[in-house]
Structure 1
């Protein structure tokens, strides 16, 4: 039974998040929509945030939640989103910083500063601004969980789209660094790194993926992984989601340390 079917039938998958309040950016479609459904299915009250007001309100209605239009590349819009969630439901416990866009250009002759800034604004600034805006609310509740949507492009080289890879590598680095940095506040920060998953971003790639026999990961599989992250106890982790494999935290190699003169 899918999350949508469970909500419509009134059969929730569990109550692990009952009483919790969650924000999902980019929640109107694709991965964000699936995340909103999964959170609601697990008992959370959900605030759906997106620039697409029509689709965003439809998702909010489906999960019996609330909708807020938000441009995540704007710091004040992120602050207003958190204030809205607090006004609606009394606080915030979970933030899924999921909004993102395709880059649409490279660094050569096709470089477009406007496209570059748009991608950086959504894919990286949206995570940084969202984290900055939500931290006071999480601290006020005694802690909470933040999950940023990165990508396998944040774990590997992507020669065909280096700027998108740069965005996502930055999110991965932020997750790994903020995990321990926020421990004293009881705030867990992790990233989810899907491969080619069902979303608008892969629309230009669908024919190529089909021709290569590359399976597209269902959005629900990514949402299920996010739910595992939110209800777990890890922090500073970057969970890969790949077709046909069990999702788990990516195991980074340890960087070689310096050789001290005394060791020579």
Structure 2
């Protein structure tokens, strides 16, 4: 991983960071700016977002990630103010705080899905044209909850598992266009999302990651991430890409595994075969 405060690693780069008014997003914005990047801080918390933007010498965009037009406007600000876009860090996210029993609230559910999943989808869509021009990178904030069962908040786990699936599927598609997409999957980190159950975590002896530890992983992914990788972040061990088990897949009559070209929608005869590694 990069040394903290590296002053040259991101020189000349332009980054958009959503959910950057506090927590992980603010930490990423600060680290990128310390490394020489120009940063657009995007959030709905105008007071804190503007303060972070002023601190890092960047620009602030009011951006409700549930609205695709606002994601597009944040990208346009990066392009118009700084001349292009190299990194889109799609970090905006919230916890749920409810389940599928008597406490279920469809309106709150749509709001959570709108931020945690739609915000990534809309952010990718908005950023792609600018990123294609410069061979850029997308990093979405997922969670360990997207890699393993999350009994204390199954709906949050569903949000983040969807982000993981999206990143894995987009990996080869966008790599063919010169854009690398990754996810960072932290365990419980010291942010506002865990405020409602921080005491329970501490009582159970669950380590809570420092924000800077998660930011270290973002820096490593922005530097070294390969298409479609989802990097776990856990206390006490170095971050690395999660090695997904190879699931059973469709086979031809002769036993060869069926695979697909990167752009299934463009070519009718996309299935190919190959021996499973």
TM-score band, normalised by shorter chain: over 0.9
Does the alignment pair 1:236 with 2:221?
no
In the TM superposition, structure 1's runs of 4+ consecutive aligned residues that sit over 3 Å from their partners are: 258-263
**Other structure's SS at 2:138 match:** strand
Residue equivalent to 2:67: 74
Q: Distance in 1 between matches of 2:199 and 2:151?
A: 19
CA shift at 1:261, angstroms?
Answer: 4.3
Counting only pairs closer than 5 Å after superposition, residues 170-249 of structure 1 correspond to structure 2 as 170-249=162-241
Q: Which has the higher contact order (CA 8 A, sep 6+)?
A: 1
Name the stretch that deviates more: 229-238 or 43-52: 229-238
CA shift at 1:235, angstroms?
Answer: 1.4
Q: Distance in 1 between matches of 2:250 and 2:123?
A: 36
Q: Distance in 1 between matches of 2:76 and 2:66?
A: 17
User: TM-score, normalization: structure 2?
Assistant: 0.88
Residue equivalent to 1:9: none
Residue equivalent to 2:26: 33
Does the alignment pair 1:169 with 2:191?
no
From 116, 129, 136, the equivalent of 1:144 is 136
**Other structure's SS at 2:65 match:** coil
Structure with the higher fraction of residues in helix conformation: 1
Structure 2: state its 5+ residue gaps: 256-277
CA shift at 1:100, angstroms?
Answer: 0.2
**Other structure's SS at 1:62 match:** helix
Pairwise CA RMSD: 1.4
Q: Distance in 1 between matches of 2:182 and 2:131?
A: 15
From 99, 105, 110, the equivalent of 1:106 is 99
Q: Distance in 1 between matches of 2:225 and 2:187?
A: 24
CA shift at 1:217, angstroms?
Answer: 0.3
**Other structure's SS at 1:217 match:** coil
Q: Distance in 1 between matches of 2:251 and 2:13?
A: 48
- Which deviations, in whole Å up to 9, do the C-alpha atoms of 1:53-95 show, x marking residues without a partner? 1111111111111111100010001111111111110111100
User: TM-score, normalization: structure 1?
Assistant: 0.93
Name the stretch that deviates more: 57-66 or 25-34: 57-66
CA shift at 1:262, angstroms?
Answer: 4.1
Residue equivalent to 2:273: none
CA shift at 1:160, angstroms?
Answer: 2.0
- Which deviations, in whole Å up to 9, do the C-alpha atoms of 1:154-196 show, x marking residues without a partner? 0011122111111000000011111111112110000000000
